[in-house]
Structure 1
Amino acid sequence: MEPWNWLIATHALAAGYALVLGPVNIFRRKKDRAHRIVGYTWAGAMYYLCITSFWIQADGGFSWLHGLSAFTLITVTLGLVSAGRGRIQAHRGNMAGSYIGTLIAFGFAALVPGRRIPQLFSQDPAALAFAAALILASSAALFLTARSLARRTARPLPARVP
């Protein structure tokens, strides 16, 4: 496999993790250590996803998706900084907005003919299904491990000073 194919493959895996782990933290009521573990994993996937996008260019140039990647790098960073400073509403807004942007980019990548996901779906659906199952299973394992760890070390998170 050529090096750029590895880049695209790892980019797609990071996108899968970002898509699966995002709602886990957004819709889960309890904001505990498991939330932090899953959140840092999600943020890492988002950073990797955005940074690698700059080396993936259709027709040799940048597109609006690259602009979205640059914007997402900023919003994820602002979300992490906001959480660290105890600005929870700003944290929620930045992270939810980053996730929505990822959904939009995924929709474009998955639905526009000629992009890699529709090609893979038509040429090798088993590989696509295997990758999706791998992402779902490993995301579930991460969440269950993080939740178990959070329960074993159950003590309140330190209060953040604004």
Structure 2
Amino acid sequence: MSYLQLAYFHLGTVFPAFLIGTYLLANRKGTPGHKLLGKIYMLLMLVTALVTLFMSAEVGPTLFGHFGFIHLLSFLVLYSVPAAYFAARDGNIKKHRANMVGLYVGGILIAGTFTFLPGRLLHGWFIA
């Protein structure tokens, strides 16, 4: 897959994850709908993070000519999703909440903000 194809695939998973995550944070927790949407959100975030690992860093220093600092957020997602799932399953709602808020803030808001910096694809599409 080309970088552009990966970018479209990534946007196709992260945008619905953003919408679902925003809804989940703003609405009642623990309902059957919350649990179902939460699983969909987690799956979307895992797919999103995995896709980004195949996208080479285009800005800043790289490791092995591929991974950049932005990929650290992908690894945060790959850690946070299972941690949040198992915490909820085990009834540790405090840990679940902390992981899910961290996932949303780090994996969507912070990573999303970086995508609009100069030299990045979305900056070129929407700002430049």
Q: What's the offset of the Cα at 1:23?
A: 1.8
Q: Aligned equivalents of 2:69 and 2:80: distance in 1?
A: 16
Name the residue aligned to 1:89. 94
Number of aligned residue pairs: give it: 121
Q: Does 1:76 align with 2:50?
A: no
> Per chain length, whose mean CA-contact separation is higher, i.e. which structure has more relative contact order (CA < 8 Å, sep 6+)?
1
> Aligned pair 1:120/2:125, yes or no?
yes
> Once the 2 structures are TM-superposed, how far is the Cα of residue 72 of structure 1 from its aligned partner?
1.6
Match of 1:41 in 2: 40
Tell me what 1:57 maps to: 56
Matches within 5 A, 1:119-158: 119-121=124-126
The answer for the alignment partner of 1:29 in structure 2 is: 28
Distance 1:88 1:118 in 2: 37
In the aligned structure 2, how far is the partner of 1:107 from the partner of 1:71? 16
Residues 52-74 of structure 1 show CA distances to partners (whole Å, capped at 9, x for unaligned) of: 11111124421111112112211
For structure 1, list consecutive stretches of 5 or more residues without a partner in the other structure.
124-162
C-alpha distance in 1, partners of 2:91/2:6? 36
What displacement does 1:22 show?
0.8
Structure with higher Rg: it is: 1
Task: Measure how far apart 1:30 and its partner are.
Answer: 4.3
The corresponding residue for 1:14 is 13
Q: Are residue 66 (structure 1) and residue 65 (structure 2) matched?
A: no
Answer 1 or 2: which has greater helix percent. 1
Report the counterpart of residue 137 of structure 1 in structure 2.
Answer: none
Distance in 2 of aligned mates of 1:24 and 1:89? 19
Determine the structure 2 residue equivalent to 1:138.
none
Q: Give the Cα separation in 1 of the matches to 2:35 and 2:14.
A: 19
| CA pair 33-47 structure 1, distance change in 2 beyond 3 A | same
Q: Unpaired segments of 5 or more residues in structure 2?
A: 59-64
Distance 1:96 1:122, change over 3 A: closer
Distance in 1, matches of 2:97 and 2:67, equals: 29
Counterpart AA for 1:103 = L
Superposition deviation, residue 33 in structure 1: 1.1
Higher alpha-carbon deviation: 70-79 or 114-123: 114-123
Match of 2:109 in 1: 103
Q: CA deviation at 1:31?
A: 2.4
Q: Deviations over 1:19-63 (max 9, x none)?
A: 111121112124211101111111011001111111111244211
